[in-house]
Amino acid sequence: MRAILALEDGLVFYGTSFTGDGESSGEVIFNTGMTGYQEVLTDPSYAGQMVCMTYPLIGNYGVNAEDVESDRVYVEAFIVKECCKIPSNWRAKESLPDYLKRHNVLGIEGIDTRQLTRHLRLHGAKRGIISTREADPVALVERAKAIPVMEGQNLAAAVSASSPYRWDGTAPRAVSLNKDGSYDWPGVHTAPDGRGVRVVVYDFGVKWNILRLLEAQGMDLLVVPASFTARQVEQTGAEAVFLSNGPGDPAALGGVIDELAALCQRYPVAGICLGHQLLGHALGGKTFKLKFGHHGCNHPVKDLLSGHIEISSQNHGFCVDVDSLKDVEITHVNLNDNTLEGFRHTKKPIIAIQYHPEASPGPHDSRNFFHRFRSMVREELGR
Amino acid sequence: MPKRTDIKKIMLIGSGPIVIGQACEFDYSGTQACKALREEGYEVVLVNSNPATIMTDPGLAHRTYVEPIDPETVAAIIAKERPDALLPTLGGQTGLNTALAVAEMGVLEQYGVELIGATREAIEKAESRELFRQAMANIGLKVPASGIARSMEDVRRLGSEMPFPIIVRPAFTMGGTGGGIAYNMEDLEAICRHGLAASLKSEIMLEESVLGWKEFELEVMRDKNNNCVIICSIENLDPMGVHTGDSVTVAPAQTLTDAEYQRMRNAAIAIMGEIGVETGGSNVQFAINPANGDMVVIEMNPRVSRSSALASKATGFPIAKIAAKLAVGYTLDELPNDITRETMASFEPSIDYCVVKIPRFTFEKFPGSQDSLTTSMKSVGEAMSIGRTFKEALQKGLRSLEIGVPGLGKDFCGCPVDKEDILAKIRTPNSRRLLQLRQAMKAGLTLEEIHDATKVDPWFLRQIQDILKVEEELKAFALGGRINAADAACVALLRKAKEHGYSDRQLATIWKRDPLDIRQLRKEAGVLPTYYLVDTCAAEFEAYTPYYYSTYETGQELHTGTNRKVVILGGGPNRIGQGIEFDYCCCHAAFALKEMGLDAIMVNSNPETVSTDYDTSTRLYFEPLTLEDALNIIDVEKPEGVIVQFGGQTPLNLAVPLKRAGAPILGTDPDSIDRAEDRERFQHMLQKLGLTQPPNGIAFSAEEAKRIAREITYPVVVRPSYVLGGRAMEIVYSDEDLDTYFREALGVSGGRVKENPILVDKFLENAIEFDVDALSDGTDTYVAGIMEHIEEAGIHSGDSACVLPPHTVGGDIIQEIERQTMALAKELNVVGLMNIQFALKDGVLFILEVNPRASRTAPFVSKATGVPLPRLATMVMLGKSLKELDPWSMRKGGHVAVKESVLPFHRFPGVDVLLGPEMRSTGEVMGIDATFGLAYMKSQLAASNRLPSQGKVFISVSDKDKAGIVEPARILKELGCSILATRGTAEHLKAHGVPCEPVLKVYEGRPNITDQIKNREIALAINTVSGKKSIHDSKILRQTTLLYGVPYTTTLAGAKAVALAMKERSGATLGVKSLQEYYDLA
């Protein structure tokens, strides 16, 4: 079925829908990862975005039950050069078109994705619309112009969990807090003193692999909604706070930032991606929007503490303005464009990185971040 | 940390001659390394015996030794040059093994030379099968179950313990040399005997087979701070069991999820650490069980490899250059990425296209060898292609191969193929399997059946099926008869076909049109290719390096500029007869053009080459060398000229059609090429000039051929008129032989040859052949080099050794050769290079062949004389005169250079090693010294024909050679060798006062000569034969010689040269001297 992709600036692409009839809109961005489309599709950070894969052959290994980062597909639409209809992989359970159809997400192919990517690189991320219904490209361009811009959008609230849950190793399990707001930490993990570190994880659209890796560090996790207050955190009996990744503009989460500022005074805190940006705000800094963002699995990041270079998984459209931060030491920089990739507070137990140490997709070079978090918390707690 | 300042002088070892498994890619890597090290201010000392390499051009290293690459010679160079460091990882397995041997001799310690890039321990750990297995166990990685054998007893013991099939992998070899797949004990013993001999340390591994598993490779780079990046992942279409060099391979990996890919990436990085590869590039191979994802490590190469070259060309990341810089102390984050300029080398390339590499085979040149692929590499070259989809890249790759197929499917006829027949064919991996997969689908086999028989991943099979679906659409559309540019459905289908990689030629066949009509149709319909960039980053950053591929997409990113420009058409995949020598010429054309201020536009499809390095030309098009693809580029570039005379036969074949299509051909007019190739026109020209050619005639049947042969008298040389490189060419001595030739070589008996007539030439027995390279500007001609063949006439000039200057003929003959050369150049109005082959018999010069183009010997002549022929030829083509350029004044003399050929017989068990009119060598070496004998000795050492100084020499020669063998035998005897000879030869030698012992021939009973060879008693074998029967009877003898690595010669001329060389060598040590010294540059 013929589909049209129209961008706000008038550029139009003609392709074919491999998921049937549909229409979708959002910010069009590109991702340069050559593998990992299933993780991309299920990453809540892509909410509000239509993702164009620069690698042209997508869907070759199908979709499996394990490589998911959430319980559904979050991208608004998926744009590829050529979609493979019959996958080949021993773990494949479903084809990519079937999977997207099941999740009601539009997928289009036959797009000159290099041309689209070059356009976005030169002119920045663009609002766009894809339709199999409207045949008039001019009308679609007009509608694309009417789509809200990413700046100022609080998307994290929309994708965040509605109530607290725990991680059972493979999936979330809803939990109920006690009347006084406390939580009966299951204590499945044992530390030398007999119990694991109790960590509240803010879900701004958390990728499951963050939970998997925190758990692997021997931590007890309680995942909470974005709306959770500092007071509520205190009531749970948590010992540390972890801020997840997520979509949208961090500056739009004013209420959350205030709560985080309070938490920073009392707890060891770590943040990834949106969590990193929110910490930047909570510590009095600012963020700005990157021209076309970082989305891929090949950016070199230098760990200034060790001197080591990590090939990193990246997915962010906003960036923390280094100069706006006080009492902060830069720990990681992007070697491609020298943007800030990580910092630590010089006085408080606060660390953050902009990219994705949980990978999924991408290289596992940065997993030590979770270890650093655990060491920081243990040191702070004296265990 | 910046580069090291404690080292000043670095030695590099090249990989020597082109052999199967080690080709131009090491010229590419060595050239990059030389440039990179020079750029950093280091003094570079290079040793490489291959004169046809860019790296051995005197401007690249400070000291260039074109000397044999053996531990003794390298040690002598170290003693003379006293380098601070030795970089062993850029010269292939040869470089690595030689460095290791020199280290073991204690030479490095003695002179305080540091191995950089890889330590001795790391090399041993990676190359020793046993140490490697232990290392993998240390880091928890699985390897296939295996055992190590160091003797035949070990082999038999392991063979009885392990399940067949068993994979044999010798240690310290490349290209799977000496390896194979054994299905039974007999196979196993045969393969292992060969393998033990091939291994540097007589160590082989017997490995439980994982045949049919999916095969992957990762190219890894590591710096001294343990920063690792993966440059490229590669997935093999052919599953485990076929050497990766013989496999169709695809980049990036297609069928791995991110989780699976990352597991492999983590393993590769762990391996780098455990093996201890300090810095540089390595290649790690994995196998994955398609049923459950089990992963095993197959092997790793702690050096830049063929796959590295492929990965470099596939991604644009200059692995060798970066490896060289890492070796001198830089880290990945200190080195910029040349392509994006703004990013650093410490990243992993992301590509937004699909790359396919297809190997090129030449089984037809080795009758008696089996066309089956195993773990021992047999391909002689490869083509790489780039497309936005696998389908497009696959079809482009097939037409890049130049094996007469314009893509998948040649004639598209509905010829019925028997299911069982084709199933049997595809079950055994072979050189035609990719094409057979299509036939299998055509025959109605299901993808499941095909997968079961081949284990080719279903993803690849479905892609091929998709291509076939378009074929069906095209056929169906043809019936509708609406093939015109005004028909929207036609235009849409045309575009779809192009997106699926269909060539105009394929469309022409299906739609029964002329390919140029399809081209016209496309132009009218606006179905034109666009050129996209290879930029290492999937368009995320702006790219500055103009490296393009064609595709049928909507964008435009080509910038052709307004400068004057010239297109150079390259040589395509390496094959026997067309290899690095032509790439050498193309590179020099590019260098010369750039120097003159023009844009050099390179077109080539061979990923191994220097010509496809991104900084050789101004713009690089990685494209097939077909008329369609060349014209498309000419259309967008609109060059002022196209150079076709440097890339060998491939571009030369395009000369006339290109000219007809209006392309401006530079240099010699295509009509002159035709005049030299067309038999009749050639004869007229020779008559006009009063020059002589051997008596000849044209025959359409065996009877006609016999009549001609009797008229011009036997022996005669016969060949079909269309062949190149001596295909199906034979020397026949009788009517009976001629009948056999028609029956066996041509498949014709009694009747007439259908299309191409047979050429019958008088064979000039015992004539001396000469190759002459000349450079002409149309007015003046510079005779650049006259090379006298060592072997007598009848042996293909490409397989013959030759010496420059000639050493057995007088000045009058030289003058006559020069006179005739100049007359021919003038008559053909040659502008550029030309090559002529002469034969001298009884004082008469005969002209055998004239080629108005660069020849295989152009680099050799350039190096031997110090006159850069291809460079000057380029300038001449652009209008400079020879008077102005004055090559005469550049010429260096006072030394003798010998070119020797290197033959791949050990790769093709069962093949006779006799030289003949069909060319079979893959590469060449140069020996250079003050006298013929010493230069010849060096050439033999360089070609791994390690002539002894003592020991038993076996001699068995044909009757016609008996008189001639006495003198060389006497010399050998005087040198203290003892001589063994077969009955006839022994009698003759004794009668002429040369004492010798008799020995039995193969069919005369036991013990015979082969027993002595097997007992390693023979130091040198001299065996000449003539006539079918004696050739047949002595074949086993020569094969045994080959298998046991005994130095040998199969010609009388060779025997004479060998004796002379051994005589001059005795008592003297071979000296080493750099080209810079020969050229008085130092």
The 10s digit of each residue's pLDDT in B605-657 is 999 999 999 899 999 999 999 999 999 999 999 999 999 999 999 999 999 99
- Using CA atoms, how far apart are residues B79 and B1070, in angstroms rounded to an integer? 13
- Using CA atoms, how far apart are residues B266 and A363, in angstroms rounded to an integer? 8
Task: Give residue B752's pLDDT.
Answer: 64
Question: Cα-atom radius of gyration of chain B, to the nearest Å?
Answer: 28
Restricting to B residues 399-428, those with a Cβ less than 8 Å away from any Cβ of A are: none
- Which of A60, A64, A360 lies closest to B254 in CB terms? A60
- Using CA atoms, how far apart are residues B167 and A219, in angstroms rounded to an integer? 47
- Using CA atoms, how far apart are residues B879 and A381, in angstroms rounded to an integer? 82
State the average pLDDT for chain B: 93
| 3-state helix, strand and coil shares in percent for chain B, rounded to the nearest 5 | 40, 20, 40
Q: pLDDT tier at B1031 (50, 70, 90 boundaries)?
A: confident
B262-311, pLDDT tens digit by residue?
Answer: 999 999 999 999 999 989 999 999 999 999 999 999 999 999 999 999 99
Locate the chain B residue with the closest alpha carbon to A310. B227
CB contact under 8 A, A336 and B457: no
Restricting to B residues 210-249, those with a Cβ less than 8 Å away from any Cβ of A are: 225-227, 229-230, 233
- Using CA atoms, how far apart are residues B633 and B650, in angstroms rounded to an integer? 16
For an interface test with A, the pick among B352, B451, B495 (most A C-beta atoms closer than 10 Å) comes out as: B352
- Which of B225, B542, B553 lies closest to A114 in CB terms? B553
Contacts of A118 in chain B (CB under 8 A): 539, 555, 557
Contacts of A40 in chain B (CB under 8 A): none
Task: Give residue B751's pLDDT.
Answer: 61
CB contact under 8 A, A32 and B537: yes
- Using CA atoms, how far apart are residues B805 and B818, in angstroms rounded to an integer? 13
- Using CA atoms, how far apart are residues A334 and B730, in angstroms rounded to an integer? 66
CB contact under 8 A, A32 and B459: no
Q: Does A177 touch chain B if contact means CB atoms closer than 8 Å? A: no
Closest CA–CA distance from residue B323 to any residue of chain A (Å): 17
- Say if residue B1006 is exposed, middle or buried (CB neighbours under 10 Å; 0-12, 13-18, 19+): exposed
Given the DSSP bridges, would you call strands A172-174 and A165-167 parallel, antiparallel or unpaired?
A: antiparallel
Task: Give residue B543's pLDDT.
Answer: 87
Q: pLDDT tier at A194 (50, 70, 90 boundaries)?
A: low
Instruction: Indicate which residue of A273, A294, A295, A299 is catalytic.
Output: A273
Contacts of B260 in chain A (CB under 8 A): 89
Q: Do B90 and B30 form a contact (C-beta atoms < 8 A)?
A: yes
Locate the chain A residue with the closest alpha carbon to B224. A308
As a whole number, mean pLDDT of residues B44-53 equals 97
Task: Give residue B749's pLDDT.
Answer: 55
As a whole number, mean pLDDT of residues B762-783 equals 95
Q: pLDDT tier at B414 (50, 70, 90 boundaries)?
A: low
As a whole number, mean pLDDT of residues B858-880 equals 97
> For chain B, what is the largest distance between any 2 Cα atoms, rounded to a whole number of angstroms?
89
* Torsion angles phi and psi, residue B686, rounded to 5: -65, -40
Closest CA–CA distance from residue B226 to any residue of chain A (Å): 8
CB contact under 8 A, A299 and B225: no
CB contact under 8 A, A117 and B539: yes
B865 against B741, higher pLDDT: B865
Q: pLDDT tier at A67 (50, 70, 90 boundaries)?
A: very high
For an interface test with B, the pick among A89, A212, A366 (most B C-beta atoms closer than 10 Å) comes out as: A89
B882: CB partners within 8 A, 6+ apart: B775, B776, B777, B779, B780, B781, B782, B872, B876
- Say if residue B811 is exposed, middle or buried (CB neighbours under 10 Å; 0-12, 13-18, 19+): exposed
- Report the first-to-last Cα separation within chain B, whole angstroms: 34
B924-946, pLDDT tens digit by residue?
Answer: 999 999 999 999 999 999 999 99
Contacts of A115 in chain B (CB under 8 A): 553-555
Restricting to B residues 535-564, those with a Cβ less than 8 Å away from any Cβ of A are: 537-542, 553-555, 557
- Using CA atoms, how far apart are residues B220 and A274, in angstroms rounded to an integer? 32
- Using CA atoms, how far apart are residues B867 and A233, in angstroms rounded to an integer? 82
pTM of the model: 0.95
Closest CA to B701 of B640, B730, B658, B743: B743
Torsion (CA) A32, A36, A38, A40 in degrees, nearest 10: -40
Contacts of A56 in chain B (CB under 8 A): 352-354, 388-389
B987-1017, pLDDT tens digit by residue?
Answer: 999 999 999 999 999 888 888 998 999 888 9
Restricting to A residues 301-320, those with a Cβ less than 8 Å away from any Cβ of B are: 302, 307-309, 311
Residue A91 has pLDDT above 90, yes or no: yes
Closest CA to B314 of B245, B234, B397: B234
Closest CA to B281 of B299, B310, B251, B301: B301
Q: Which residue shows structure tokens 């997520």?
A: A246
The angle formed by the CA atoms of residues A285, B333 and A298, to the nearest 5 degrees, is 70
- Using CA atoms, how far apart are residues B87 and B117, in angstroms rounded to an integer? 6
Torsion (CA) A70, A72, A77, A78 in degrees, nearest 10: 60
Restricting to B residues 432-461, those with a Cβ less than 8 Å away from any Cβ of A are: 457-459
B161-212, pLDDT tens digit by residue?
Answer: 999 999 998 888 777 788 889 999 998 998 998 888 777 778 899 999 999 9
* Torsion angles phi and psi, residue A167, rounded to 5: -105, 125
Contacts of A299 in chain B (CB under 8 A): 347
- Which of A82, A302, A307 lies closest to B389 in CB terms? A82
Task: Give residue B801's pLDDT.
Answer: 95
Q: Does B342 touch chain A if contact means CB atoms closer than 8 Å? A: yes
Can you name the residues that pair with A3 across neighbouring β-strands? A15
CB contact under 8 A, B227 and A309: yes
Write B998-1005 long-range contacts (CB < 8 A, 24+). Answer: B999/B954, B1001/B956, B1001/B1033, B1001/B1034, B1001/B1037, B1002/B1033, B1002/B1034, B1002/B1036, B1002/B1037, B1003/B1033
CA B914 to chain CA centroid, nearest Å? 20
**Residue-wise over B900-917: b if at least 16 C-beta within 10 A, else e?**
bbbbbbbbbbebbbbbbb
CA A163 to chain CA centroid, nearest Å? 19
Closest CA to B350 of A371, A130, A297: A297
Task: Give residue A195's pLDDT.
Answer: 66
**Residue-wise over B853-890: b if at least 16 C-beta within 10 A, else e?**
bbbbbbbbbbbbbbbbbbbbbbbbbbeeebeebebeee
DSSP string, B634-690: HHHH--SEEE-SSSTHHHHHHHHHHHHTT--B-SS-HHHHHHHHSHHHHHHHHHHHT
Restricting to B residues 253-312, those with a Cβ less than 8 Å away from any Cβ of A are: 253-262, 265-266, 289-293
B193 against B527, higher pLDDT: B527
Instruction: Indicate which residue of A294, A316, A345, A356 is catalytic.
Output: A356
CB contact under 8 A, A32 and B350: yes
Q: What percent of chain B has pLDDT over 90?
A: 79
CB contact under 8 A, A56 and B389: yes
State the average pLDDT for chain A: 95
Closest CA–CA distance from residue A43 to any residue of chain B (Å): 14
Task: Give residue B747's pLDDT.
Answer: 66
Residue B732 has pLDDT above 80, yes or no: yes
- Using CA atoms, how far apart are residues B384 and B400, in angstroms rounded to an integer? 8
For an interface test with B, the pick among A93, A99, A114, A338 (most B C-beta atoms closer than 10 Å) comes out as: A114
CB contact under 8 A, B540 and A55: no
Locate all alpha helices (DSSP H) within chain A, ordered by sequence. 37-41, 96-102, 113-123, 137-145, 156-159, 208-216, 230-236, 254-266, 274-282, 368-381
Locate the chain B residue with the closest alpha carbon to A63. B257
B769 is written with which tokens? 């052949």
* Torsion angles phi and psi, residue B94, rounded to 5: -60, -50
CB contact under 8 A, B350 and A81: no
CB contact under 8 A, A55 and B538: yes
**Among this protein's residues, is A273 annotated catalytic?**
yes
B657-712, pLDDT tens digit by residue?
Answer: 999 999 999 999 999 988 998 888 999 999 999 999 999 998 888 889 999 999 99
Q: Does B368 touch chain A if contact means CB atoms closer than 8 Å? A: no
**Among this protein's residues, is A83 annotated catalytic?**
no
Locate all alpha helices (DSSP H) within B850-920, ordered by sequence. 858-865, 869-877, 882-885
Residue A190 has pLDDT above 70, yes or no: no
B842 is written with which tokens? 């009884």
Q: Do B435 and B371 form a contact (C-beta atoms < 8 A)?
A: no
Q: Which residue shows structure tokens 């093999």?
A: B236
- Count the Cβ atoms, other than its own, within 10 Å of residue A84: 25
DSSP string, A123-138: H--EEEEEESS---HH
**Among this protein's residues, is A358 annotated catalytic?**
yes
As a whole number, mean pLDDT of residues B556-566 equals 94
CB contact under 8 A, A61 and B350: no
Q: How many CB pairs under 8 A join A and B?
A: 163
Q: pLDDT tier at B733 (50, 70, 90 boundaries)?
A: confident
Residue B32 has pLDDT above 60, yes or no: yes
Helix (H) or strand (E) holding A50: strand A49-53
Q: Do B176 and B377 form a contact (C-beta atoms < 8 A)?
A: yes
List the single range of A67-76, B57-66, B372-381, B449-458 with lowest mean pLDDT: B372-381
